[in-house]
Amino acid sequence: MSELLSNLLQDARVWQGHQHKKTTQPAEPTGYQSLDNQLGGLGWPKGALSECLLDTVGIGELHLVLPLMQRVSNEGKTIFWLNPPHTPYAPALAREDVNLDHVVMVTTKDQNDFLWTLENCLRSPVTGLVLAWPGTLARRDVRRLQLASEAGGNVCVLFRSRRHVEQNSPAALRLELVPGEHQELKINIIKRRGSWPGQRCSLAMSHRVNLASEEATRVIQGPWTGAAR
């Protein structure tokens, strides 16, 4: 029993309120040093869900994941955009050195379709990054997606409403995003593995370009036959 307890305490997913625990879980750097510093020198967790919680789209949330998109696409891994509120603007992505050959947008018609698609994207060996706009998710759905993310070992970022800030979530990383003055993006870390919440930082978005507008190179349209489970 003592060995089992010791192993559990060594797992960064077990939070000990009296101390900081450095996690050894795999992660991808965000590309923003000030944010990585607040995330224990790591970044976006791999094999786990991350949530970005915001009131409205277009405040810089896509620029937050842009360095990761650049890196993943140029490594030959696929980036899936699932039900984005606006179509990815291919020329802007290309100008920002995102390899469009590895960008795929998927739209679905209902919640069962969405969950089936997202789960399969997460489990696919070709996937490097999944960006998804799920709307309402039940806690059991988040757990199901967390298991799929663990199986695939990639990065998944869910963009959700800020009204979910106070709700519990199995996601490994939860970031509250708020627009600041002078085109800044304020980030409040609600949850991360191995440490307490409450860290904050601001990122300059002064050179922000429109990454979601009118045009995409590859669009896949649901629903999928037999998708509902």
Please give the pLDDT value at position 228.
39
Domains of the chain: 27-221 (3.40.50.300)
User: Is there a contact between 172 and 45 (Cβ–Cβ < 8 Å)?
Assistant: yes
pLDDT in tens, 19-40: 444 556 789 999 999 999 988 8
CA proximity to 200, closest of 191, 188, 192, 190: 188
Please give the pLDDT value at position 41.
79
pTM of the full predicted structure?
Answer: 0.82
Give the range among 8-12, 45-49, 83-87 with minimum mean pLDDT. Answer: 8-12
Please give the pLDDT value at position 15.
47
Q: Does pLDDT of 133 surpass 70?
A: yes
Please give the pLDDT value at position 142.
87
User: Is there a contact between 164 and 115 (Cβ–Cβ < 8 Å)?
Assistant: no
Cα(108)–Cα(201) distance, rounded to whole angstroms? Answer: 34
Judged by DSSP in three states, 172 sits in coil
- Confidence band for 224, pLDDT divided at 50, 70 and 90: very low
Q: Does pLDDT of 9 surpass 80?
A: no
Cα(161)–Cα(174) distance, rounded to whole angstroms? Answer: 12
Q: What percent of the chain has pLDDT over 70?
A: 77
pLDDT in tens, 144-186: 899 999 999 999 999 999 998 888 888 999 999 999 887 789 9
Identity (one letter) of the amino acid at 10?
Q
Please give the pLDDT value at position 140.
86
Buried b (16+ CB within 10 A) or exposed e, 141-153: bbebbbebbeebe
Please give the pLDDT value at position 206.
59
Please give the pLDDT value at position 138.
85
Please give the pLDDT value at position 22.
52
The whole-number average pLDDT for the span 205-228 is: 52
Q: What percent of the chain has pLDDT over 90?
A: 53
The whole-number average pLDDT for the span 83-93 is: 89
Please give the pLDDT value at position 19.
46
- Confidence band for 134, pLDDT divided at 50, 70 and 90: very high
Cα(81)–Cα(173) distance, rounded to whole angstroms? Answer: 19
